């Protein structure tokens, strides 16, 4: 799996550097929206790598190499987790740096906000991955756009509900860990489905 991650990291750095740069800049800007966009987009980068692999018919060569179907699929999820964690870390460091510059204290709920954003990123990636493996990135693109739109709408809606119901930050923060564990569970189920889809494919 290490080899597959090396290959994908090279691909991201060399082919998707513009997106990578945008993610880093947005992640470094303090604020829920920019951080949210950066972290969620980072979690979707594996889909861009998958699209690139598809265009090159990489799966044909991968099938000849000592990689199991499980490794090929799981490596894309692991790549997503690494990118999500890295962009969340950049966001956290960016917020700390901004707070230090402004001589302010960092917001107490920043950490729980980042966990929530990461959870949303994991769910979004996990919902899309099986579709991508099943239909191919090109064919699944419309479903992908719909799912991203749905998640953005759901997040905005829940924000408004919290605001109107005057839910405290402490209460919002308390959903972070359950949401994160739910995302991990969704991701594990998604991984199992994706592996079984990939195993049925012929290369």
Partner 1 sequence: MNAIEIKDLSKSYGDFALKNINLTLPSGCIMGLVGENGAGKSTTIKLIMNAVRRDAGSISVLGMDNESAEFCELKNDIGVVLDEAYLPEALNARNINHFMKAAYKRWDEQQFFEYIKRFMLPEKKPVRDYSRGMKMKLAIASALSHQPKLLILDEATSGLDPIVRDEILDILNEFTRDESHSILMSSHIISDLEKCCDYIAFIHRGELIFCEEKDRLLEEYGTIRVSKERFAEIPGDAVLGKKVTPYGVEALVDKSRLSEAFVVEHTALEDIILFLAKGENK
Residues that bind partner 1 (CB under 8 A): 2-4, 6-7, 10-11, 14-15, 52-53, 56-58, 60-61, 63-68, 202-203
* Of residues 70 and 141, the one with the C-beta less far from partner 1: 70
CB of residue 129 to partner 1, shortest distance in Å: 20
CB of residue 1 to partner 1, shortest distance in Å: 9
Closest CA to 120 of 47, 191, 194, 36: 36
* Of residues 6 and 161, the one with the C-beta less far from partner 1: 6
* Of residues 61 and 145, the one with the C-beta less far from partner 1: 61
CB of residue 80 to partner 1, shortest distance in Å: 18
* Of residues 3 and 170, the one with the C-beta less far from partner 1: 3
CB of residue 134 to partner 1, shortest distance in Å: 18
CB of residue 105 to partner 1, shortest distance in Å: 43
* Of residues 160 and 200, the one with the C-beta less far from partner 1: 200
Q: How many residues does the chain have?
A: 203
């Amino acid at each position: 799996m290490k080899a597959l991650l090396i290959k994908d990291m090279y691909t991201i750095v060399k082919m998707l550097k513009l997106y990578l740069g945008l993610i880093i800049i947005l992640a470094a800007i303090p604020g829920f929206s920019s951080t949210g966009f950066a972290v969620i987009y980072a979690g979707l980068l594996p889909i861009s790598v998958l699209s690139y692999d598809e265009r090159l018919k990489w799966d044909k060569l991968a099938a000849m190499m000592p990689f199991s179907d499980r490794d090929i699929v799981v490596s894309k999820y692991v790549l997503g987790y690494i990118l999500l964690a890295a962009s969340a870390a950049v966001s956290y460091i960016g917020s700390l740096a901004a707070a230090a510059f402004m001589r302010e204290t960092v917001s107490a709920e920043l950490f729980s906000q980042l966990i929530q954003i990461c959870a949303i990123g994991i769910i979004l990636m996990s919902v899309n991955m099986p579709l991508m493996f099943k239909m191919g990135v090109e064919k699944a693109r419309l479903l992908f756009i719909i799912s991203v739109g749905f998640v953005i709408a759901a997040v905005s809606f829940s924000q408004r509900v919290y605001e109107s119901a005057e839910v405290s930050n402490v209460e919002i923060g308390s959903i972070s860990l359950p949401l994160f564990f739910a995302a991990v569970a969704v991701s594990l189920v998604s991984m199992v489905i994706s592996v079984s889809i990939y195993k049925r494919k012929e290369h």
